[in-house]
Amino acid sequence: MTPLSPLFQTWLNTKNWSLHPHQQDMLDHAHLASQLLIAPTGAGKTLAGFLPTLMELDTAPRKGLHTLYVSPLKALAADIKRNLTTPIQELGLDIRVEDRTGDTTQTVKKRQRVDPPHILLTTPESLALLMSYEDAPRIFDGLERIIIDEVHALAESKRGDQLFLALSRINALCPNLRRVGLSATVEDPHAIASLMARHPDPCKIHFTPALAPPDIQMLDTQAAPPWAGAGGAHSIPDVLDQIKQHKTTLIFHNTRAQAEIYFHNLWLANDDALPIAIHHGSLDKQQRQRVEDAMTHGALRAIVCTGSLDLGIDWGDVDLVIQIGAPKNVKRLVQRIGRSNHRYNAPSKALIVPANRFEIIECQAALEAVRENALDGDPRAPGPLDVLCQHIVLTACSGAFVADDLFAEITSAGPYHTLARADFDACLDFCTTGGYALQRYDQWHRLIHMGDGTYRLRDPRSAARIRMNAGTIQDTDTLKVRMKRNRGGKPLGEIEEGFAATLTAGDTFLIGGQIVRFEGLREMVVEVSRDATKTPKIATFAGTKFATSTQLCDRVLHNFETQNWGFLPQNTVDWLAKQKEISTLPMAHRLLVETFPRKGRHHLCVYGFAGRNAQQTLGLLLTKQMEEQNLAPLGFVATDYATLIWGLEPIDAPETLLFADTLEQGFENWLMGNAVMKRSFRAVATIAGLIERNLPGLRKSGRQATFSSDILYDTLSKYDPNHILMQITRTEALSGLVDFARIRGMLDRVNGLIEHRTLPHVSPMAAPLFLEVGKVPVEGQAIDRLLHQEAETLMREAGLDF
Amino acid sequence: MNTYSFTLAGAALVACPSGALWWPDQRVLCVSDLHLGKSDRLRRVGAPSLPPYETRDTLFRLEHDIHECDPRTVVCLGDSFDDQDAEKSLAPEERTWILRLQAGRRWVWIQGNHDPGPLDLSGTHLGTLPISPLTFRHIADPKSSGDVSGHYHPKATLNLKGRSLSKPCFLVDSDRLILPAFGTYTGGLDTKSETISSLMRREAVAILTGSKAIAVPMPR
């Protein structure tokens, strides 16, 4: 056991603290190359991470960078800085702690490169940039430890890939670097460990279970949940009651739009004027800051929020977490529950509010999973190649490199340890020549091959341009929303450009909990004014919808099969019994398909339980096949469980539509022209460096010079369909928004067994689908026809004719 | 018919869905802002290497329109090349391709701001080209009428029952016509921008390109 030095022991004694076992464990193993601490919120992870650094710097004071701390949130870095400064001052240590994020000024950043602090707190993006300077070897000289906070959150995205690549580089500069990961509870600690450790180094895992199991239940609401919808508005009186009974309540929603609407309704019902606020990622930074400050001071009784509050910032006195709507994913639910009672050994208290009848079933399955501690998670795909391309170019910014050495370095990064040399070479070729089938303009390559496997930037001046465009976070194009200038010009937040484009003057919508009226667009800023109406004309702006996880879907199906109704309310049990009587319940190893007529239309309902994205793709594929078979489909709607299609012709043999081979073939053709592909391409091409988001000095005048990434996509699919970026795009789209992988999984699961029920009318389980929003019209030539009609009307109204 | 017919200063003109302008009485085909060699120029200034296929794609579409109309005169309304060097670094097969398109007809290169100097290619190089009652130039002259120009790459955005649709477009009022950019790698300037809305009269019409040329009142 590594004992604490007298200084630290005395300090702990004066605080009346003692080390938790896992904090001591981490200290005992501080000499290891890699350690990972898995512990619930409030378990003192920060101290566990930093204690060895503080002790080492106390025993052997020195200059220069000793420890790097990386976190996914800028706010977290600032938070940690506060939390570290107190003990450092109380201990009287001579340790400098600074943060370096996108918010740090250029002057400070320059100074940090010349004279680095002992402890530098940063984000993956800032670290990747720091690594790309020519003086990186000097900056990182003497670096001993790197602490990766919330490593579970980073591991889920490309930011993690970027970080682990940057670490492989830094490790080459500092061979004795020790890595420490701090993670919330995850389903597969070994997966995280092998991602963060230098491959093939071992990684010691310290596992700290929560001492008290969470106290989690479904909230009993006076009004039963509606048949469809996701807002949870029926729960408002009950939730207000809960807020009154607790000190501080966090109310989580799955999307920003739902949070906005819920907050608006909660406020209308808030007769006691309780201090309630809203917090989500689209709100203006200052507004978010105000809410965070009020929260830290305990001035708020409730906060309506989204994932932006998911990560481990210390918010103090939260004693209740309410999740509105099915959590879609057990892991996220557990992490959210952990936000309440931010003390290690006190049980977390949480309530979950299903937003519709079907979600009651899903919520019950999620509660079972939480109690059994069965977390879900899909195995992670190998590190994506677009991030690799960015890393190669950033490496070139720091100086010439030898391809073989870089390859060896990259395959020491967890996500890339299986990287094939051919894929690396293809990425290197893309960075050098563009990697096109048509090769010319040899003198203008971005990187130059110097002949002996060494590569460098052709034009060193392009380094600034490359750094400016680095990063893996994609801004969906958002526009700032402001009050109209003559009324103060107060910034309110951001909305997606696509949503802004559909607004016409006079439209009202919700943002930051207030209703505003769209006045116009001015220099890429949405100008609005306050509006006194009670209900917004346009309810929402678009938001990401998560698909229910495979594990949760399987659990629901399993409950159907075993007829495990658990604590389901009577109304739900009756509903399921009726479904069984009229049709049958969906099963895991058979695909339930219902056909029935309703209001002169023929309907087809496919209970695939494959998650929203896959069910949506299934809808697109099936309607396309139906078009070809002249079944005249009119439209469809998809939920996490089922796809409902309607059309003019009866579907007698739905099983012929559901052949795996036919679906797959239709998919291949459909995919290339798909909007989802174009969206994925845009992200991939931006990360890989083909599309520049920021051009020095070209922002405004350059508008007609820049053109849409769709043009590049169309050009490549016409002339160079096997280009590496097209390959990456395909891989991404298949597992992401298109989620064909889960359709395939579903087809494998049912193995050709299709249970077709021909019904005289709609079944109890299909009925709620008619109320779902987000119906997708099957267009064919419809958009052209619409445009034509609209054009004629407009010209006639304007009395124009040329 | 996928084209849209209209008149300017008494001349009967046809807007093709490709973005080309056809004047049947004079057998003039006019295209603007080809920006050939754009990916080449961007590479030279250190930008990422864009797919180098835009020149052939643009020529391919131009060839299609020439084949359809069989014009006596082809007018390229300026910014035909993304810069002066882009013209010099044309691949030999692309140069031959242009020569083939020029064979048997009059070919006019109007100077643009991207390609202000004379070109090595054959054809007539002019600042403006008057063919009564019209005048062809690169940038619109607010004082002139019967003015046919390009330069701005106009595009119009329409809101179709909650779906927003944005397309390159011709702009026409009683004095002038502005052509959309014909080149593959070109973006657009929205008709709602100050520059365009102050140039066009109130009753201006936007003719959207795409699978079919469709006229709407110019969105402002």
The predicted complex's ipTM stands at 0.90
Cis-peptide into B133, omega within 30 deg = yes
Beta bridge partner(s), residue A603: A596, A646
For B12, nearest residue in chain A (alpha carbons): A802
Query: Could you tell me which residue, A799 or A270, shows the higher pLDDT?
Result: A270
A187 DSSP assignment = S
For A791, nearest residue in chain B (alpha carbons): B216
Q: Classify residue A385: in a domain, yes or no.
A: no
Is pLDDT above 50 for A699? no
Chain B interface, mutation test: which of A725, A787, A796, A801, most B Cβ atoms within 10 Å? Answer: A787
Query: Domain residue spans in chain B?
Result: 4-217
Smallest CA-to-CA distance from A647 within A666, A663, A628 is with A628
**CB atoms A712 and B51 under 8 Å:** yes
Q: Average pLDDT, stretch A679-691? A: 87
Is pLDDT above 50 for A781? no
Same domain for A233 and A190: no
Smallest CA-to-CA distance from A683 within A640, A660, A643, A712 is with A712
For A457, nearest residue in chain B (alpha carbons): B46
**CB atoms B57 and A691 under 8 Å:** no
d(CA A574, CA A692): 57
Chain B interface, mutation test: which of A436, A438, A444, most B Cβ atoms within 10 Å? Answer: A444
**CB atoms B49 and A465 under 8 Å:** no
Instruction: Tell me which residue range forms the domain holding A308.
Output: 215-372
Same domain for A235 and A196: no
Q: Which residues of A touch B187 (CB under 8 A)?
A: 703-708
Q: Which of A504, A690, A707 sits opposite B48 (nearest CB)?
A: A690
Same domain for A643 and A504: no
Q: Average pLDDT, stretch B89-105? A: 93
d(CA A218, CA A220): 6
**CB atoms B203 and A444 under 8 Å:** no
Q: How confident is the prediction for chain A on average, in pLDDT?
A: 84
pLDDT at res. A315: 60
pLDDT tens, A170-196?
Answer: 999 999 999 999 998 787 889 999 999
Same domain for A365 and A322: yes
d(CA B109, CA A783): 37
Question: A675: pLDDT confidence band, cut at 50, 70 and 90?
Answer: low
Q: Average pLDDT, stretch A143-158? A: 91
How near does any CA of chain B get to the CA of A331, in Å? 36
Same domain for A181 and A234: no
d(CA A230, CA A58): 54
Q: Which residues of B touch A716 (CB under 8 A)?
A: 51, 53
Strand bridging mode A643-647 / A633-638: antiparallel
The CATH classification of domain B4-217, taken from the options 3.40.50, 3.60.21, 1.20.120, 3.30.70? 3.60.21
How near does any CA of chain A get to the CA of B7, in Å? 6
Q: Classify residue A203: in a domain, yes or no.
A: yes
Q: Average pLDDT, stretch A332-339? A: 76
Range scoring the smallest mean pLDDT among A94-103, A525-534, B9-18: A525-534
Q: Average pLDDT, stretch A732-753? A: 82
Q: Classify residue A440: in a domain, yes or no.
A: no
Q: Average pLDDT, stretch A525-535? A: 78
Q: Which residues of A touch B51 (CB under 8 A)?
A: 434, 436, 712, 715-716, 719-720, 723
For B216, nearest residue in chain A (alpha carbons): A791
CB atoms within 10 A of CB A499: 20
Strand bridging mode A204-207 / A34-38: parallel
**CB atoms B160 and A458 under 8 Å:** no
Chain A interface, mutation test: which of B33, B34, B50, most A Cβ atoms within 10 Å? Answer: B50
Q: Which residues of B touch A798 (CB under 8 A)?
A: 203, 217
Q: Which residues of B touch A720 (CB under 8 A)?
A: 51, 53
Range scoring the smallest mean pLDDT among A195-209, A330-344, A680-694, A715-729: A330-344
% pLDDT > 90, chain A = 39
**CB atoms A504 and B186 under 8 Å:** no
How near does any CA of chain A get to the CA of B128, in Å? 23
Query: Could you tell me which residue, B215 or A741, shows the higher pLDDT?
Result: B215
Q: Which residues of B touch A708 (CB under 8 A)?
A: 187
Is pLDDT above 80 for A498? no
Is pLDDT above 90 for B54? yes
Q: Classify residue A378: in a domain, yes or no.
A: no
Question: B211: pLDDT confidence band, cut at 50, 70 and 90?
Answer: confident
Same domain for A220 and A199: no
pLDDT at res. A370: 85
How near does any CA of chain B get to the CA of A298, in Å? 42
Chain A interface, mutation test: which of B41, B49, B149, most A Cβ atoms within 10 Å? Answer: B49
How near does any CA of chain B get to the CA of A505, in Å? 12
Q: Average pLDDT, stretch A315-320? A: 75
Cis-peptide into A200, omega within 30 deg = yes
Is pLDDT above 60 for A544? no
pLDDT at res. A702: 37
d(CA A319, CA A302): 10
Is pLDDT above 60 for A66? yes
Is pLDDT above 80 for A460? yes
% pLDDT > 70, chain B = 97
List CB contacts of B13: < 8 A, sequence separation 6 or more. B5, B6, B7, B21, B22, B23, B177
Picking from A207, A235, A258, the residue at the C-terminal end of a domain is A207
A60 burial via Cβ count (<10 Å: 0-12, 13-18, 19+): exposed
d(CA B138, CA B76): 9
**CB atoms A795 and B161 under 8 Å:** no
**CB atoms B48 and A708 under 8 Å:** no
Output Rg (C-alpha) for chain B, integer angstroms: 17
CA separation, residue B208 to residues A238, A557, A676, B78 (Å): 54, 51, 25, 21
The C-alpha angle A24, A30, A32, rounded to 5 degrees, equals: 130
Picking from A207, A240, A270, the residue at the C-terminal end of a domain is A207
Picking from A344, A372, A400, the residue at the C-terminal end of a domain is A372
**CB atoms B46 and A446 under 8 Å:** yes
Q: Which of A462, A716, A790 sits opposite B51 (nearest CB)?
A: A716
Q: Average pLDDT, stretch A299-310? A: 80
How many CB pairs below 8 Å do chains A and B form together?
127
Same domain for A156 and A285: no
pLDDT at res. A257: 77
Same domain for A93 and A63: yes
Chain B interface, mutation test: which of A504, A524, A715, most B Cβ atoms within 10 Å? Answer: A715
Q: Are A319 and A349 in contact (CB under 8 A)?
A: yes
Same domain for A253 and A140: no
- Which strands form A215-218's sheet, in the order they lie side by side? A215-218, A349-353, A320-324, A249-252, A302-305, A276-279
Same domain for A177 and A95: yes
Is pLDDT above 60 for B161? no
Same domain for A237 and A368: yes
**What predicted TM-score, i.e. pTM, was given to this entire model?**
0.82
For residue A148, what is the domain's CATH number? 3.40.50.300
Same domain for A128 and A11: yes
**CB atoms A704 and B189 under 8 Å:** yes
Helix axes A660-672, A740-750, angle to 10 degrees: 170
pLDDT at res. A543: 42
How near does any CA of chain A get to the CA of B153, in Å? 7
**Number of domains chain A contains:** 4
Is pLDDT above 90 for A338? no
pLDDT at res. A405: 96
Q: Classify residue A98: in a domain, yes or no.
A: yes
d(CA A375, CA A333): 9
Question: A697: pLDDT confidence band, cut at 50, 70 and 90?
Answer: very low
Q: Which residues of A touch B139 (CB under 8 A)?
A: none
**CB atoms B158 and A787 under 8 Å:** yes
